[in-house]
Structure 1
Amino acid sequence: MNEAKGHALSLRGLSKKYGEFVAVSDVSLEVGRGEFLTLLGPSGSGKTTILMAVAGFVAPSAGAILLDGRDITPLPPEKRDFGMVFQGYALFPHMTVAENVTFPLRVRGMSRAERDAKVRGALDLVQLGAFADRLPKQLSGGQQQRVALARALVFDPALLLLDEPLSALDKKLRAELQEELKALHQRVGRTFVNVTHDQEEALSLSDRIAILNHGRLVQAGAPGELYERPRTRFVADFLGKSNFLDGMVHGATASGFALEAGAVRVAVRLPDGAAAPPEGARTLLSLRPEKVALLAEDEGAENIAEGRILSFAYLGAGFSLRVATEHLGEIRAVLPAWKAPIAPAEGLPVRLGWAADAAVPVLEDAA
C-alpha cells in the first residue's frame, strides 16, 4: 500500500436520523493512509449515507469525522478538498474531455499553464490522453468513467470518494475497470473510500471492507479475513454463498469440537487462538460451497454426508449443486466443470466431504 500521498480518515460514533428513521447508527471506523476501503452492504444499509456525510453533503445527527486527526465535521463540501466519482459519471455533455477535467482547476483559480499540465497528467493517468478533444457522447461508458476519475484526481484531493462508480457498466467492462481502478489506486497512492453492493467488486478492489446492515457496522477487515472468518450469519451469507449447519457442541477442546446435528457429528477444527463455544451450546457453522468436495465411493474425509442432487447449474468454470442430505439438510457444493468426476443429474446419489477446518462458527444475527 502506498501511503506517501494518503490521508487518514476516522469516523467516531457517526449517526444519522431522518425523523424516526435511523439511517446510520453509531458507526466508528478507521481508514488508513493510502488505503482502499469499501463500504459494502445491501440497499438501505447506510453505506451511501456515510459516504455523503464524509463528502459533506449530509450533516450527521451525532458523531464526528476526522481527517488526519482534525475534526472536519462542520466543514462544507468545498472546504474538504475531496474528489468524488458518481455512478452516472456527471460529466458536462457540452464540454470536451479536457474541459471536463479542467473544470475543478478553473474553479480553484489555477493559471492556464498549470491547468494544462495537470490535465495532461490526469488524462495520461487514465490512458485517455488521445481523447482530450472528444465530447462525452463520443465515448464508451468505460471511457466516460475514466474521465470522471481523471476529473476527481486532477486537483490532488485529500480523499477520493467513489459512489458505486462501476454499477452502470456491463459485467465484462466492469471487470476490466476493476483492474484499472485497482492499478490506478496503487499508482496515485491516495486514500480511496468506495461504496458498492457488489461483493465480487469489494473483494477484488479493496485493502479492507466494512460490511454494513441496517445502518450498523457489522464487521470490518481484509477481504480474505471476512470471507474465511465471518463473525455472523449475515456476513457469511452476504459476502459470497454459504451452507449453515446447526447443532449442539460436544467434546469441546482447545483445538476444536464436534457439532451434533441429528444422528451425525461434524468435526470442527479451530484456528490457533480461537475459543470453542461452551459444551452443550447451540452453535451455527458456516461452510463455503467450494470447500465441499465430491467423494468417490471408497474415498474418505474428516466429514462425510451422503445425499441426492436436488438441482444443479452450469456456471462455465464449474457446476453448482444442491444436495439433499438426511441429517444436515440441503448442502450446496461447487464442482469444477473441467474433467468433472460425474455428469450431474437430478436424483443422482453423491457423497460429499469436507475438512474439519473448512467450517467456522458464526453468530446468529440479532433480530
Structure 2
Amino acid sequence: MKGHALSLRRLTKRYGDFTAVDDVSLEVEQGQFLTLLGPSGSGKTTILMAVAGFVEPTDGHVLLDGRDITPLPPEKRDFGMVFQGYALFPHMSVADNVAFPLRVRGQSRADREAKVRAALDLVQLSAFAERLPKQLSGGQQQRVALARALVFDPNLLLLDEPLSALDKKLRAELQEELKALHRRIGRTFVNVTHDQEEALSLSDRIAILNHGKLVQFGGPGELYERPRTRFVADFLGKSNFLQGIARGPDAAGMLLETPGQGIHVRFAGPVHMPRDGGRALLSLRPEKITVLNPGETAENVVEGTVRAFAYLGAGFSLVVETAHLGEIRAVLPAWQSPVAPAEGLPVRLGWAADAAVPVEEDAA
C-alpha cells in the first residue's frame, strides 16, 4: 500500500491561555494531496508539527490508517519532511544529503546507493549527485530536499511551505513538478502554505484555517465556487460582497433586495440558505462579471463608472463605482476586451444569476 490514510480527531494545542489549534477534525484518504491553508497564526504549521510528532497535542488524536500514533515520537512515525529552508547539509554532496536518512537507519552501502540513484532519478537530478548544495539553484535544492524525504519510502510526506523561498515563475514551475511527482509515487502528501494559488493548483483537498479553527474543508473547486463564509470567499481568491435583504429563498434561488437594486440569485449547488426577510450576504467573484456591449443584457445588470484599472497581462482588473452597490471589482480578459479601460469611463456590468453565492458572516 503506497498511500496511507490520515485522521485528525478533535486536535487541540494550547500554549498557556493561547489556543493555537482549536478542536480540528479531518480525514485524508490514501494517496491524497492535502493542503493546510490559512494566514499567519492560523494554526496550520502547529497541526503539521503535531502530525510529524514534534508538537504534543493538548487534546485529541492523530491516526494513521486508523491506528492512534499520537504517543509515537517523530522517529517512529517514519514520515518524510521538507522544510521551508530545505535544511540541506552544506558540506555534503547531493548524493550524501539524500543518503543521510538511510545511513541513520543502518542500511547497507549497496542499498543506500541503489535507493539514492532511484530518488535522484525521480526528481531528475542524477547528473548533480556529486555537487554541493551551494552549487545548485533554489529549485534544484528543493528537489534534493524532496528526494531526501522520499528515499526511505515514508508513510507520509509532510511539506512546510517548501516553495515559499522561490520566485513566482520558478514556484509555478515547481508546483507542476510537485503535482506530477505526487501522481507518480501515489503517496499521501500534507502541505502547509499561505499561498492560495498554490493550494488550488496542487491539492485534492484543502483545509482552510483561521484562528486555530477549521473553517471549511473540501476540494479546491468546491471551496472556490461555494465558500461557506466571508473569510473563505475573501481568503481563497478575490470576491465582491453584496449585502441586502433575502426575499423568497427556496431550493432554486432568491432575490437580494438592496437600496435601488435587486439581485437575482439562482442556486447552483448546496449553499448557506438565508431566511426570508433576513439580512443576506453574497460572494461574487470578479472574473464572473462582464462589461456589457450596448444593447446587451444579463440576468443582473448594474451601471457604474471606472474608478481605477490595472493591466495584468492576461486581463484587466477594473474597480467600478456604482450608485447602489458601491465598488464592484471585475476582471476581464485582455484579449478581445469589450472596452478599452479608462478612468471615468461609464460601463454596464452584467452577471448570471448563478454567479453569486450566499455566504455566512464570520463569527465575531
Which TM-score band applies after superposition, normalised by the shorter structure?
over 0.9
Q: CA deviation at 1:253?
A: 3.2
- Helix, strand or coil at the partner of 2:190: strand
Match of 1:262 in 2: 259
User: In structure 2, what is the Cα distance between the partners aligned to 1:361 and 1:252?
Assistant: 11
Match of 1:319 in 2: 316
Does residue 119 in structure 1 map to residue 116 in structure 2? yes
Does residue 129 in structure 1 map to residue 143 in structure 2? no
Q: What whole-Å deviation, never above 9, does each CA across 1:210-234 have from its counterpart, x for those lacking one?
A: 0000000000100000000000000
Does residue 236 in structure 1 map to residue 233 in structure 2? yes
Does residue 55 in structure 1 map to residue 52 in structure 2? yes
TM alignment of 1:85-124, pairs within 5 A: 85-124=82-121
Match of 1:245 in 2: 242
* Structure 2 residue ranges without an equivalent (≥5): none
Kept in 1: contact 2:271–2:357 (CA 8 A): no
User: In structure 2, what is the Cα distance between the partners aligned to 1:264 and 1:354?
Assistant: 14
Kept in 1: contact 2:272–2:359 (CA 8 A): no
Q: CA deviation at 1:278?
A: 1.7
Match of 1:13 in 2: 10
User: In structure 2, what is the Cα distance between the partners aligned to 1:276 and 1:195?
Assistant: 32
Match of 2:341 in 1: 344
Does residue 138 in structure 1 map to residue 135 in structure 2? yes
Match of 2:357 in 1: 360
- Helix, strand or coil at the partner of 2:51: helix
* AA in 2 matched with 1:193: V
Q: What whole-Å deviation, never above 9, does each CA across 1:111-148 have from its counterpart, x for those lacking one?
A: 11111100000000000011100000110000000000
Q: 1:207 to 1:362 in 2, by over 3 A?
A: same
- Helix, strand or coil at the partner of 2:175: helix
2:29 alignment partner, one of 14, 29, 32: 32
Does residue 147 in structure 1 map to residue 144 in structure 2? yes
Q: What is the percent sequence identity of the aligned residues?
A: 79
* AA in 1 matched with 2:245: M
More displaced stretch, 340-349 vs 158-167: 340-349
TM alignment of 1:170-249, pairs within 5 A: 170-249=167-246
Q: 1:66 to 1:275 in 2, by over 3 A?
A: closer
- Helix, strand or coil at the partner of 2:303: strand
User: In structure 2, what is the Cα distance between the partners aligned to 1:175 and 1:317?
Assistant: 16
User: In structure 1, what is the Cα distance between the partners aligned to 2:47 and 2:224?
Assistant: 23
Kept in 1: contact 2:292–2:338 (CA 8 A): no
Q: TM-score, normalised by structure 2?
A: 0.99
2:327 alignment partner, one of 330, 341, 357: 330
- Helix, strand or coil at the partner of 2:39: coil
- Alignment RMSD (CA, Å): 0.9
User: In structure 1, what is the Cα distance between the partners aligned to 2:58 and 2:273?
Assistant: 40
The count of residues paired between Structure 1 and Structure 2 equals 364
- Helix, strand or coil at the partner of 2:112: helix
Match of 1:308 in 2: 305
Q: What whole-Å deviation, never above 9, does each CA across 1:155-213 have from its counterpart, x for those lacking one?
A: 00000000000000011100010000000000111000000000000000000100000
User: In structure 2, what is the Cα distance between the partners aligned to 1:226 and 1:185?
Assistant: 22
Q: CA deviation at 1:251?
A: 2.7
Q: CA deviation at 1:252?
A: 2.6
User: In structure 1, what is the Cα distance between the partners aligned to 2:22 and 2:333?
Assistant: 42
- Helix, strand or coil at the partner of 2:341: coil
Q: CA deviation at 1:329?
A: 1.0
Q: 1:108 to 1:179 in 2, by over 3 A?
A: same
User: In structure 2, what is the Cα distance between the partners aligned to 1:64 and 1:272?
Assistant: 33
Q: 1:333 to 1:273 in 2, by over 3 A?
A: closer
Kept in 2: contact 1:255–1:272 (CA 8 A): no
More displaced stretch, 192-201 vs 333-342: 333-342
* Structure 1 residue ranges without an equivalent (≥5): none
Q: TM-score, normalised by structure 1?
A: 0.98
Match of 2:61 in 1: 64
User: In structure 1, what is the Cα distance between the partners aligned to 2:229 and 2:307?
Assistant: 27
Q: What whole-Å deviation, never above 9, does each CA across 1:239-287 have from its counterpart, x for those lacking one?
A: 0000000000113333111000101110000125557422101000000
Kept in 2: contact 1:308–1:324 (CA 8 A): yes
- Helix, strand or coil at the partner of 1:350: strand
User: In structure 2, what is the Cα distance between the partners aligned to 1:276 and 1:176?
Assistant: 40
